[in-house]
């Protein structure tokens, strides 16, 4: 058996008290002093931990909120003095897309590197916008696995990045391919942090993460010095981003890296030529922002013979950029994907999709909707206990002090998160009976879409769906 792709992890405890969903409200006056205190009986020992915590409290702005919400103390207190309440701090985390629940589960995964597990069935809404309007499929008796009989340890999550010509072109007998290809072990690249979320040390951690897990990281050429001096070790994991109109990096650098990404404009043909002239083994990706005409542009670029990789980027919530009624990234990518399929050229290019990838399941779902791999950024920042206050930059006060965390903590938490995502990807692929993430791409037969299911079942019975 060949070596398995495995990410080494170890638990990295949080620096700060967790912000839980539930808090205990405790009225100390009116206590009967019955000595049967239910606080001692807390199954999770939270009251003792709380007392301990308050004794050693060094940071006054943090509150202890680790109640598990079982109501046992509330219901057993002799005088009924205890109550549970929603934690307003928890409620204010994130935004409408990056919900408190997403942030909380990301923190837990970054700490433990484990797949989040809980009991009592599903608790959420039936369906929702974005990625919540689809389910992944599973295998059953008539077709236990899609790819034949295999154990989970044989599931491959590797993907290829680059152009794969439909036919081989022979320059000479020994030179059969004129396009380079990079294979990475997981369908994930680390994208540029969105504006307002750029911290110099985070970039450095991301670089180490990429090196440790064998994935790629996109770094703006202008930020290159932030990576430090030992650039040589990470060149293989680097995708150098060259913005529209920016000068090309020095030849010496371009000759040593494997991939660049360039901002989309009308100069891209010339840019690609220039870059390839310096190093013909470099892969050039085009970063296409999914604005009003993003889909049209992606389709146009997808047909060009000199394009190797398209990186389609929505905003951080996965929405189309700068439109009143934005479409969601998965639908836009699906349209581009289907268009290229119909032209018979989908296999020739690689599509990276980014924006709104917040959970491991989004990675799988985005790939089902036509991307080869996905780009993420914010989840890695959240792994460092970021609360998404949206005000960070070097020099600005950070409520969780991300700028000063230790490298072992930063990289450890990020690696844990990526490992947990990898394990979850294997879980859903195992359930789908898929053996390779390459073949998951565009495999909508292994997914169930809310609109289609509704139409096929309830539409038939109850007429037309309102709004």
Partner 1 sequence: MVPEKINNSNLPENTRKTQVEQAQVSREIKPAPPRYRNELAKYIINRSDACIHCGKCAEVCPQGVHVLKPGYKLFAAPRLNVCVGPSCQNTDRYCVDLCPQKALRMVENPMMKVLGDYRWTPDLILSTWKMAETGSAPPKEFGYEREFGNSGGGFDRLKIKFPAKAPLEVKPEEVDTTLELNRRNDGRPQIKLDVPWYGGGMSFGSVSNVTQLSKARAAVAFNTFTCTGEGGYMERLRPYDDHTITQVATGLFGVREETIQRVRIIEFKYAQGAKPGLGGHLLADKVTPSVARMRETVLGISLFSPFPFHSVYSIEDHQKHMDWIKHINRHALISAKVSTPTDVDMVAVGSHSAGAHIVHIDGGYGGTGAAPDIAKKNIAMPVEYGIVKVHDFLTREGVRDKVTLIASGGLRNAYDIAKAIALGADGVVVGTAELVALGCLRCARCESGRGCPRGIATTDPKLQEQLTVEWGSQRIINLYNAWRNDLVDILVKLGLRSISELRGRTDLLMHMDYTNDMEPKK
Rule CB under 8 A: which of 351-380 touch partner 1?
Answer: 359-361, 364-365
**Within positions 402 to 431, which residues make up the interface with partner 1, using CB under 8 A?**
424, 427-428, 430-431
Whether 328 contacts 362, CB under 8 Å: no
Smallest separation (angstroms) from partner 1 to the CB of 122: 4
Q: Determine the angle formed by the axes of helices 407-432 and 360-368, rounding to 10 degrees.
A: 50
Smallest separation (angstroms) from partner 1 to the CB of 156: 18
- Cβ proximity to partner 1: between 274 and 454 the closer is 454
- Cβ proximity to partner 1: between 60 and 126 the closer is 126
Smallest separation (angstroms) from partner 1 to the CB of 297: 31
Alpha-carbon distance of 182 to 165, in angstroms, equals: 15
Smallest separation (angstroms) from partner 1 to the CB of 429: 10
The region, left, alpha or beta by phi > 0 then psi within -120 to 50, assigned to residue 203 is alpha
- Cβ proximity to partner 1: between 116 and 180 the closer is 116
Tokens found for residue 332: 């836009």
- CA-wise closest residue to 364 among 158, 146, 187: 187
Stretch that binds partner 1, among 110-118, 158-166, 265-273, 336-344 (CB under 8 A): 110-118
Smallest separation (angstroms) from partner 1 to the CB of 91: 10
Build a one-symbol-per-residue string for 186-215: x at contacts with partner 1 by CB under 8 A, - elsewhere: ------------------------------
- Cβ proximity to partner 1: between 79 and 255 the closer is 79
Alpha-carbon distance of 460 to 455, in angstroms, equals: 7
Contact residues for 117 (Cβ-Cβ < 8 A; gap 6+): none
Under the criterion CB under 8 A, does residue 344 sit at the interface with partner 1?
no
Whether 363 contacts 372, CB under 8 Å: no
**Which one of 27, 51, 69, 293 is in contact with partner 1 (CB under 8 A)?**
69
Alpha-carbon distance of 131 to 306, in angstroms, equals: 32
**Within positions 24 to 63, which residues make up the interface with partner 1, using CB under 8 A?**
43-44
Smallest separation (angstroms) from partner 1 to the CB of 190: 21
Tokens found for residue 216: 């790629």
Under the criterion CB under 8 A, does residue 174 sit at the interface with partner 1?
no
Element containing residue 259 per DSSP (H, E): strand 259-263
**Which one of 10, 48, 79, 164 is in contact with partner 1 (CB under 8 A)?**
79
Size of the residue set binding partner 1 (CB under 8 A): 71
Whether 282 contacts 275, CB under 8 Å: yes
Under the criterion CB under 8 A, does residue 77 sit at the interface with partner 1?
yes
Q: For the chain, give the number of residues.
A: 467
Give the β-pairing of 82-86 and 22-26: antiparallel
**Within positions 112 to 171, which residues make up the interface with partner 1, using CB under 8 A?**
115-127, 135-145, 149
**Which one of 11, 80, 228, 322 is in contact with partner 1 (CB under 8 A)?**
80
Q: How far, rounded to the nearest angstrom, does the alpha carbon of residue 442 sit from its chain's CA centroid?
A: 18
- CA-wise closest residue to 370 among 329, 404, 409, 403: 329
């Amino acid at each position: 058996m060949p070596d398995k792709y495995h990410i080494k992890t170890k638990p990295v405890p949080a620096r700060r008290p967790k912000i839980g969903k539930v808090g205990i409200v405790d009225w100390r006056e009116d206590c009967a002093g019955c000595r049967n205190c239910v606080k001692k009986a807390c199954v999770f020992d939270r009251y003792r931990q709380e007392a301990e915590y308050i004794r050693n409290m060094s940071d006054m702005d943090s509150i202890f909120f680790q109640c598990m919400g079982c109501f046992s103390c509330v219901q057993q207190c002799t005088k009924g003095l205890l109550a549970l309440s929603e934690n307003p701090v928890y409620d204010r985390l994130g935004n409408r897309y990056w919900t408190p629940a997403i942030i909380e589960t990301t923190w837990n995964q970054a700490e433990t590197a484990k797949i989040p597990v809980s009991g009592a069935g599903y608790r959420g809404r039936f369906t929702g916008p974005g990625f919540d309007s689809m389910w992944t499929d599973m295998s059953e008796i008539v077709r236990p696995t899609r790819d034949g009989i295999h154990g989970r340890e044989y599931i491959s999550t590797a993907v290829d990045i680059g152009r794969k010509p439909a036919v081989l072109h022979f320059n000479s007998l020994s030179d059969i391919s004129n396009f380079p290809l990079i294979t990475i072990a997981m369908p994930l690249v680390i994208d540029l942090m969105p504006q307002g979320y750029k911290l110099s040390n985070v970039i450095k951690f991301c670089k180490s993460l990429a090196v440790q897990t064998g994935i790629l990281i996109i770094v703006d050429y202008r930020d290159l010095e932030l990576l430090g001096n030992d650039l040589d070790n990470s060149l293989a994991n680097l995708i150098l981003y060259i913005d529209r109109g920016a000068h090309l990096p020095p030849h010496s650098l371009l000759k040593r890296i494997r991939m660049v990404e360039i901002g989309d404009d009308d100069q891209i043909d010339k840019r690609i030529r220039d870059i390839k002239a310096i190093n013909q083994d470099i892969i050039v990706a085009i970063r296409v922002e999914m604005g009003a005409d993003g889909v049209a542009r992606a389709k146009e670029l997808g047909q060009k013979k000199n394009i190797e990789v398209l990186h389609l980027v929505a905003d951080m919530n996965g929405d189309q950029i700068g439109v009143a009624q934005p479409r969601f990234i998965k639908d836009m990518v699906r349209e581009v994907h289907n268009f290229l399929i119909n032209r018979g050229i989908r296999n020739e290019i690689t599509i990276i999709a980014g924006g709104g990838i917040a959970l491991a399941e989004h990675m799988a779902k985005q790939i089902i909707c036509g991307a080869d791999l996905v780009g993420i950024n914010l989840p890695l920042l959240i792994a460092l206990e970021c609360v998404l206050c949206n005000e960070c930059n070097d020099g600005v006060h950070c409520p969780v002090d991300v700028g000063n965390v230790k490298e072992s903590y930063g990289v450890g938490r990020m690696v844990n998160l990526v490992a947990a995502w990898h394990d979850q990807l294997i879980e859903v692929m195992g359930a789908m009976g898929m053996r390779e993430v390459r073949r998951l791409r565009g495999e909508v037969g292994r997914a169930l879409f809310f609109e289609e299911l509704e139409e096929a079942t309830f539409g038939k019975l109850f007429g037309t769906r309102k709004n």
